[in-house]
């Protein structure tokens, strides 16, 4: 057995200060773990009480943990740190610090392999939307886009593609963070409709290259861009080899830092952010804590309900201020695979959804799953946030969803609420692009654009896109926490990675690793 780090650092544990300061019993220890997501040996997330500093914590422990531990990462917004350290030091020293609120054992973040059938779409089958300030942009779009923009159910919905209108430029000034398996940021969909970059200059939250095994994330991000064409997609690769809950918590802390930094440095151009999490999770208190603080800071979080047909959504559905999304088909029926019920907030199209495919820079596919229903909601939220600049009030952003959703039009769906952009909402102020705001100053101008889709459109079988992890078959729970003070951190610009072994690199673009 290894000697505890405390003994290695100070030689003894008999400091006169320790007995007086030690709590009588250790703090709460959340173990967790499962066959799918096993515990990581000697790896923990430590939550400090708000206002309790690392320096005070180190004084209790007797040495600088960040210098002694093989893994150490501090997150200022949740006042937590991830660490790899021996059991004795953790359970007999750190947990007895009165300034420690809770210790959670870190565990693997599972990535369920997804499968895809490539369906190439030619140049005549791609959106081509020009820019014009908040005009009403009409054209032929995929049915999923039509269903969340049209209100009249008498329209012929049998076609795969039909004429509808969408707001322009939906999502401008909004960052939509895709916590997922990574995204090929050089896909043409980002060039045509907006921008795409990696979080923190491609900072690694797994042991894989940013563009390895990024099928799921690319499909999710593509749905956002097709429905909020001017949003900036920001990829945070948290699923993959070496991914774990502590590293995902770190990614969310980085997102929160960037959000606060952008609000201070770019108040005129930065409108806000949305976080999309199309996967399920286990209970993990530090994850719940940082997610709650993201919402307190004004970032809505959208998650997929799950594909098990359960009468509740998989976690993190049901956690504080998290929006849980189920899936419907083209005929307004709840998808047979979709979770439903108590923790599901609304439904969005989730069958035969047209989106980007990571096999090439100009490839597209059709997919099914609540994983592609959730980003439909993220896209609509990006439209609301971009128009009103809602960057510090998730309650207002969520209210806009409620004010614009379409109730009572679904079959076998609990609750019976369908996502809607509000563009054709019968109760909206005519001077405004959707229901909720009043007295808008932008002048609406109808414009027709050629999206190069025909009424029938390209058709192909769907590929099922399951959640990266469907989560345990048990209802969710809540864990609210108060927000801390706001520190400062400068975000980084995006870049590309060198071509690794076994990957394809062409046209001077980042590597394609499949």
Domain identity same for 79 and 210: no
Q: For residues 38 and 153, state if they share a domain.
A: no
Q: What is the pLDDT of residue 514?
A: 42
The tokens describing 379, both together, are: 């896209």
The CATH number linked to 18 is 3.30.70.80
pLDDT of residue 33: 84
Residue 215 and residue 67 share a domain: no
Choose the catalytic residue: 86, 180, 339, 368: 180
Same domain assignment for residues 324 and 196: yes
State which residues form the domain around 101: 5-107
pLDDT of 6 reads 36
Judging by DSSP bridges, how do beta strands 353-357 and 363-368 pair with one another? Answer: antiparallel
237 and 96 both lie in a single domain: no
Does some domain include residue 497? Answer: no
Nearest CA-CA partner of 218 in 345, 362, 349, 84: 362
Q: Is residue 498 part of a domain?
A: no
Q: What is the pLDDT of residues 483-511, one digit of tens each?
A: 333 333 333 333 333 445 544 433 333 44
Known active-site residue 371: yes
Checking if the pLDDT of 470 tops 60, the result is: no
Q: What is the rounded average pLDDT for all residues in the chain?
A: 80
pLDDT of residue 322: 95
Report whether pLDDT(448) > 80.
no
> What is the DSSP code (8-state) at residue 473?
S
Give the residue from 44, 78, 107 where a domain finishes: 107
How many residues belong to the chain?
514
**Do 199 and 137 fall within a single domain?**
yes
State the average pLDDT over residues 46-50.
96
Backbone angles phi, psi at 292, to 5 degrees: -60, -40
Q: What distance in Å separates the CA atoms of residue 17 and residue 308, rounded to the nearest whole number?
A: 54
- Which one of 423, 448, 464 terminates a domain? 464
- Residue in 225, 304, 314, 371 annotated catalytic: 371
Structural domain count of the chain: 2
Annotated catalytic residue 284: no
Catalytic residue among 127, 216, 284, 420: 216
CA-to-CA distance for 54 and 163, rounded, in angstroms? 58
**Residue 107 pLDDT grade (very low, low, confident, very high; cuts 50, 70, 90):** very high
CA angle 41, 44, 46 (to 5 degrees): 165
pLDDT greater than 80 at residue 43: yes
Does a structural domain hold residue 226? yes
* 237 and 285 part of one domain: yes
Domain assignment present for 475: no
Instruction: Tell me which of 424, 447, 464 is where a domain ends.
Output: 464
**Is 86 within a domain?**
yes
- Residue 469: CB partners within 8 Å, gap ≥ 6? 36, 37, 109, 110, 111, 112, 279, 280, 281
CA count, 13 A, side-chain hemisphere, 497:
23
**138 and 57 belong to one structural domain:** no
pTM score = 0.81
- Identify whether 156 is part of a domain: yes
Check if 216 is active-site: yes
Q: Do residues 294 and 429 both lie within one domain?
A: yes
* Average pLDDT of the residues in 25-40: 90
Distances (CA, A) of 504 to 214, 364, 510: 14, 18, 9
- Does residue 459 belong to any structural domain of this protein? yes
Q: pLDDT per residue over 366-406, tens digit each?
A: 999 999 999 999 999 999 999 999 999 999 999 999 999 99
Same domain, 99 and 180: no
| Whether 141 and 57 share a structural domain | no
Q: Above pLDDT 90, what percent of the chain? A: 59
The CATH number of the domain where 249 resides is what?
3.40.50.200
Cα separation, 261 vs 419, whole angstroms: 31
Q: Where are the alpha helices (DSSP H) in 308-447?
A: 370-388, 394-404
pLDDT of residue 488: 32
What's the pLDDT tens digit per position in 158-194?
Answer: 778 888 888 878 899 999 999 999 999 999 998 766 6
User: Is position 114 within any domain?
Assistant: no
Question: 147-151 long-range CB contacts below 8 Å, 24 or more apart?
Answer: 147/330, 147/332, 147/349, 147/418, 148/227, 148/348, 148/349, 148/376, 148/380, 148/418, 148/419, 148/420, 148/421, 149/420, 149/421, 149/423, 149/424, 150/424, 151/406, 151/420, 151/424, 151/425, 151/426
Kindly state whether residues 72 and 30 are assigned to the same domain: yes
Residue recorded with tokens 């990571």: 358
Both tokens of residue 94? Answer: 């750190």
């Amino acid at each position: 057995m290894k000697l505890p780090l405390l003994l290695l650092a100070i030689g003894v544990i008999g400091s006169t200060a320790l007995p007086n300061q030690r709590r009588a019993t250790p703090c709460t220890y959340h173990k967790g773990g499962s066959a799918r997501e096993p515990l990581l040996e000697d790896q923990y997330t430590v939550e400090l009480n708000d206002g309790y500093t690392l320096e005070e914590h180190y004084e209790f422990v007797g040495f600088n943990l960040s210098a002694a531990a093989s893994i150490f990462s501090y997150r200022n917004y949740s006042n937590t740190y991830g660490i790899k350290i021996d059991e004795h030091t953790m359970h007999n020293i750190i947990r007895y610090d009165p300034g420690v609120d809770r210790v959670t054992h870190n565990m693997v973040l599972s990535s369920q392999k997804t499968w895809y059938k490539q369906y190439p779409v030619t140049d005549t089958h791609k959106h081509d939307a020009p820019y014009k300030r908040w005009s009403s942009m009409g054209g032929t779009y995929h049915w999923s886009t039509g269903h969340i923009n049209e209100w009249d159910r008498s329209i012929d919905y049998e076609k795969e593609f039909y004429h509808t209108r969408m707001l322009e430029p939906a999502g401008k000034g909004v960052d939509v963070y895709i916590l997922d398996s990574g995204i090929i940021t050089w896909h043409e969909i980002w060039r045509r409709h907006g921008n795409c970059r990696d979080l923190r200059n491609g900072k690694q939250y797994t042991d894989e290259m940013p563009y390895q095994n990024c099928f799921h994330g690319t499909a999710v991000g593509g749905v956002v861009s097709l429905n909020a064409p001017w949003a900036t997609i920001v990829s945070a690769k948290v699923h993959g080899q070496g991914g774990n809950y502590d590293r995902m918590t770190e990614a969310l802390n980085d997102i929160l830092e960037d959000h606060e930094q952008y609000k201070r440095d770019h108040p005129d151009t930065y409108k806000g952010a949305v976080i999309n999490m199309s996967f399920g999770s286990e209970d993990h208190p530090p994850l719940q804590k940082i997610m709650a603080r993201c919402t307190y800071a004004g970032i809505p979080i959208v998650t997929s309900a799950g594909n098990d047909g359960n009468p509740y959504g998989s976690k993190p559905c049901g956690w504080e201020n998290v929006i849980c999304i189920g899936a419907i088909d083209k005929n307004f029926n709840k998808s047979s695979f979709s979770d439903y019920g108590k923790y599901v907030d609304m439904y969005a199209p989730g069958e035969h959804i047209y989106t980007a495919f990571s096999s090439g820079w100009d490839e597209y596919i059709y997919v099914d799953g609540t994983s592609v229903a959730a980003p439909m909601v993220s896209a609509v939220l990006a439209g609301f946030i971009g128009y009103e600049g809602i960057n510090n009030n998730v309650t207002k952003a969520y209210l806009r969803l409620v004010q614009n959703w379409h109730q009572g039009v679904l079959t076998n769906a609990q609750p019976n609420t369908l996502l809607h952009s509000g563009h054709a909402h019968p109760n909206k102020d005519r001077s405004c692009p959707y229901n909720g705001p009043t007295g808008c100053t932008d002048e609406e101008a109808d414009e027709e654009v050629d999206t190069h889709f025909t009424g029938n459109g390209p058709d192909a079988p769907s590929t099922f896109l399951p959640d990266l992890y469907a989560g345990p078959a048990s209802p969710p729970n809540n864990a609210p926490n108060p927000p801390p003070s706001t520190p400062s951190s400068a975000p980084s610009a995006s870049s590309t990675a060198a071509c690794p072994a076994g990957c394809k690199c062409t046209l001077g673009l980042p590597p394609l690793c499949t």
